[in-house]
Amino acid sequence: MNTSPKMEMEMKMETKAAPEAGMIKKSNEEWRTVLSPEQFKILREKSIEKRGSGEYVKLFEEGIYCCVGCGNPVYKSTTKFDSGCGWPAFFDAIPGAINRTEERAGLRYEITCTKCDGHLGHVLKNEGFPTPTDERHCVNSVALKFSSAITSQ
């Protein structure tokens, strides 16, 4: 198909605009009404919880981890591993669930939720963990909400 430069530009703009369509945008005041002070500090101000303090560091139950800010599913328990770092660690995210912003020459990336842009943590690469991706998604527990796959019978 032969397209004009104008049509190509419009197609690119549509592709870029598509992810924005499902975005949750709130003011800081609105976020403060739905997040705890600690959640706000991490998700909106890009802080880090104290090492080893998170409720999900040692949790290895089957289920899904969602962004606490918007409920977007971001990690499956099948990708969680014990890295010994003091924060929940995953080797991969649910496809399309996180954005990455390079911070350290391709070795460290900030990760945010694609739906609400909440800060989740960082991805570190090439640390030698025996995982399929050689990545460690170091995520703040307070940025997550776990939903167990185990149901009562």
Q: How far is 116 from 23, CA to CA, in rounded Å?
A: 6
Q: Residues 82-123: pLDDT tens digits?
A: 999 999 999 999 999 999 999 877 789 999 999 999 999 999
Q: Residues 23-59: pLDDT tens digits?
A: 899 999 999 999 999 999 999 999 999 999 999 999 9
Q: Residues 6-18: pLDDT tens digits?
A: 433 333 333 233 4
pLDDT of residue 10: 37
70 labeled part of a ligand binding site:
yes
67 labeled part of a ligand binding site:
yes
Query: Which candidate, 84, 102, 90, places its Cα nearest to that of 144?
Result: 90
66 labeled part of a ligand binding site:
no
What's the predicted TM-score (pTM) here? 0.83
Residue with tokens 């919880």: 49
Question: Looking at the annotation, which residues are catalytic?
Answer: 138
The domain made up of 49-153 is a member of CATH 1.20.120.160:
no
pLDDT of residue 8: 39
